[in-house]
Structure 1
């Protein structure tokens, strides 16, 4: 893509302390403008902790609303769905402002308390996707290895501790999933989804999405969407696999790596798994959220 400048995608030399976490300038340089973003009532905000199925759900929504058009085959997903807080040219906010579609599909990794207030004021629709902590951690680790906008992940053994301590770009997984879960209780236009449910039965979750969004799509259309968004199909598709994005180094790892539930078992030692389980029990004891680490 001509508008993507390699120079803008050099790895951040340091992380910066920001309101919610350790972050990088790629997500903080345009902070005031992002906070002042003007949402619309028909906007759909896709919110996730990084590596929890953002692109998957973005593509599902894109197909449900706009179908298989020339735009889908010629314009990469990251230009069809604006990454609100990103400052890689073109800035996410500018891209969102100028999206030609209605509804506008916008994504964010922001913790709930830092979402621009206009989304709540306009009563915009929000789709939140959560993924179990262990698989999320593994996916984030490999993403940090190959993405120039992220700090170097270091060794897996130390990465686990950093993840548990919440010293991540976009903050603590625990705070993120719980903060959005709590918001769901008071914001009726927030649909909370689980990566594991999507993996187990994509068709069922598409049905649930359509029901929530008030979309009437034929069984044939929904089957077509479910087929198009299968992991292997998306991984091969240059418009969805991020292979044309300057920030990704595919020599290290593909952006879409495995997409499996339970891949964490190939990374954690027994001791590491036990340590994470203990940390999880302690931090989630007061939460009604339920996650599955296998299906």
Structure 2
């Protein structure tokens, strides 16, 4: 008997789009047509962009940095993305006393269409694509979705194709940023913004959500959402199989520039060429930082 998992979970292909295996066949259509609430807050990003960090910040802001209130208000909320399993049904049953803070990686054609009509608010996080890819590889190779994600070189190649899981970085982020960055109910932040000015970004999110906090409360939110405090607090996720048990954590390094430990010179040159081509004419490159 071995603890090594030798089988792969696979992905779920729905209308030609690759989702993680936890997404049901009818979920994308249900999400797109979902009725949402005026005070809903979506924390939205491509996977491994700092989503859980932003989720913690938003929930802490709603709870004014009070850890006891945080546990009471959000301790039982689904931890996975909105689209996983029956999470959207769980959110539908929540009371209207507090805002629902909903994490999702839904592409632009799946996000509830009422959002684009101005209902609810979206905090959208973008991470530089090189660090994003390295973080994603470290995440998915443990979860064993597909064999091609086991080795870095194969994952690098797969990430550039349009049929990557959740699509590739460009196909996911560009439609949102180019078409919705000036919408009143969208706030676009970058992971690097948050690393360089954690407190400033907390204040920006407070202003966006119309939830002003005192200086003391802002400092408490910042303290609660430092990488070290979050890493010490976050639960370990376990995936159980008949052939063994593995444990996974959501948080790894939380730094900018980790891509330099993985990209070869040739891969970096190739990626830069694709990046420059795909980003031509876009306003997004002005926001992207590859190292600090």
Is 2:219 the partner of 1:223?
yes
Counterpart of 1:49 (choices 32, 46, 50) is: 46
Q: Hey, what does 1:86 align to over in structure 2?
A: 84
User: Are residues 246 and 273 of structure 1, via their aligned partners in 2, closer, same or farther at CA, if it must alter by over 3 Å?
Assistant: same
Taking the TM superposition and a 5 Å limit, the aligned residue runs for 1:188-267 are 188-237=184-233, 241-244=234-237, 246=239, 251=246, 254-267=249-262
User: Are residues 43 and 182 of structure 1, via their aligned partners in 2, closer, same or farther at CA, if it must alter by over 3 Å?
Assistant: same
SS, match of residue 27 in structure 1: coil
User: Are residues 279 and 242 of structure 1, via their aligned partners in 2, closer, same or farther at CA, if it must alter by over 3 Å?
Assistant: farther
Q: Hey, what does 1:12 align to over in structure 2?
A: 9
Hey, what's the Cα distance between the residues in 2 that align with 1:21 and 1:106? 22
TM-score (norm 1): 0.85
Per-residue Cα deviation, 1:150-200 (whole angstroms, up to 9, x for no partner): 334131011111111233211121011111102324522100010000011
SS, match of residue 272 in structure 2: helix
Hey, what's the Cα distance between the residues in 2 that align with 1:30 and 1:247? 26
Higher alpha-carbon deviation: 134-143 or 95-104: 95-104
| Structure 2: gaps spanning 5 or more residues | 1-6
Contact 1:96/1:104 (8 A) holds in 2: yes
| Number of aligned positions between the proteins | 278
Contact 2:81/2:102 (8 A) holds in 1: yes
Contact 1:166/1:173 (8 A) holds in 2: no
User: Are residues 198 and 177 of structure 1, via their aligned partners in 2, closer, same or farther at CA, if it must alter by over 3 Å?
Assistant: same
Q: Hey, what does 2:291 align to over in structure 1?
A: 294
> Runs of 4 or more off by more than 6 Å in structure 1?
74-78, 247-250
| Structure 1: gaps spanning 5 or more residues | 1-9
User: Are residues 20 and 78 of structure 1, via their aligned partners in 2, closer, same or farther at CA, if it must alter by over 3 Å?
Assistant: farther
Q: Hey, what does 1:110 align to over in structure 2?
A: 106
SS, match of residue 51 in structure 1: coil
TM-score (norm 2): 0.86
RMSD: 2.6
Q: Hey, what does 2:4 align to over in structure 1?
A: none
Contact 2:32/2:112 (8 A) holds in 1: yes
Per-residue Cα deviation, 1:245-283 (whole angstroms, up to 9, x for no partner): 548999575321101110111111111111111111111
The CA deviation at 1:135 is 0.3
The CA deviation at 1:204 is 0.8
Per-residue Cα deviation, 1:131-156 (whole angstroms, up to 9, x for no partner): 000000001101102236x3341310
The CA deviation at 1:24 is 3.6
SS, match of residue 146 in structure 2: coil
Higher alpha-carbon deviation: 190-199 or 28-37: 28-37
